[in-house]
Structures are given as structure tokens and as C-alpha cells.
Amino acid sequence: MIRALAHSCLDPKAPNWLSVYARAEQQFGSRTGLPLVNGLAQITVSLLRIKADDLQILPSSESIESEKVLPDERLILLMIHHMRRNHFIAGYDFLMELLLGEVDDELLEQAHSFANRHSCGEQQPRSHKGIIGKRLRLVPTVNKN
């Protein structure tokens, strides 16, 4: 999604950013997909504001299964990965490496906001039952011997 969003901003001939929102909605549903891509769009726009044409991103046409990832993409993914798991110091370190040691408060706030909204850390109650996600359930088996 980040590749497609970046290229839609950088290249007028690239597919429109609306197609990224449509794909996210189709893949994750509107309740999850639209806020997800919106958060990534804010991060991407800030990265482009800071790094402009120096942001190393492969064309969005590259297969997602491809193991080829450019250094900036790797740092962005590691930053998001760690921040979503409540490892903010590690995420901050990857962000600083991406920005060559320069602090950008707006981007840092967007990354924190995205990580909090789409956390992979401790489960947080969101439903009326106070539980989200899957729970481990033990099913007793009957010994037929």
C-alpha cells in the first residue's frame, strides 16, 4: 500500500490513490481497511514531504511476494512493525535511520497514532464483550480406548 500511495503522489501516470483505498476496503473491509490505508497515507505523505524524490520505493507494480525491498522500504516496514507491537524505542530508531538522524515531530506523531490504532500488542477491549480477536479455546477430547 505504501508503494502505491507514494507512486500515486510522485507520478501523475501512476494509478490513482483511490484504487489503494478500494483495494484496502475489499481486502480488509471498510471498518479496518479504510482507517488502515488512511494512516499509511498520512505517513507516506509526510515521508515524501521530508525526503521528496530521495525516498527509495519500488514501483507499486512489483509483486508483494517479491523479496526485493529497498533500504527505505525496509526501514519503514521495521518502524511500523515495532511500533505496532509497542516497541516504540526500536521503531523510533528505525525512523531516525530512515530520516538520517533528523527528528520530524509530525511524522513521529503519525507513526504513533497509526501504531496505537492498529496495534499488534496487548489486546485492547473494543467490543461490547470486552474482547477482540481470537481466543485460545481448549476442547476436551474423549479417550475412546
Could you list the beta-strand ranges (E) of 2-145.
Answer: none
Q: Does residue 51 lie within any of the structural domains?
A: yes
Q: Does residue 140 lie within any of the structural domains?
A: no
Q: What is the domain extent for residue 7?
A: 1-122
Phi, psi of 88 (to 5 degrees): -65, -30
Q: Could you give the angle at the alpha carbon of 58 between the alpha carbons of 56 and 61, nearest 5°?
A: 160
Q: Does residue 63 lie within any of the structural domains?
A: yes
Number of residues that make up the chain = 145
Q: Are 90 and 84 in contact (CB under 8 A)?
A: no
Domain count, the chain: 1
Secondary structure element (H or E) that encloses residue 16, with its range: none
Task: Please give the pLDDT value at position 93.
Answer: 93
Burial bucket for residue 57 (CB in 10 Å: 0-12, 13-18, 19+): buried
Q: Does residue 131 lie within any of the structural domains?
A: no
Q: Does residue 68 lie within any of the structural domains?
A: yes
Task: Please give the pLDDT value at position 139.
Answer: 53
Q: Does residue 108 lie within any of the structural domains?
A: yes
Question: What is the block-wise mean pLDDT of the chain (145 residues), using blocks of 10 residues?
Answer: 86 81 91 92 94 84 67 92 90 93 91 90 53 51 56
Q: Does residue 141 lie within any of the structural domains?
A: no
Task: Please give the pLDDT value at position 111.
Answer: 93
Q: Are 52 and 97 in contact (CB under 8 A)?
A: no
Q: Does residue 95 lie within any of the structural domains?
A: yes
Task: Please give the pLDDT value at position 63.
Answer: 54
Angstrom distances, CA of residue 64 to CA of 2, 3, 9: 11, 10, 20
Count Cα atoms within 13 angstroms, Cβ side, for 102. Answer: 9
Task: Please give the pLDDT value at position 141.
Answer: 56
Task: Please give the pLDDT value at position 69.
Answer: 86
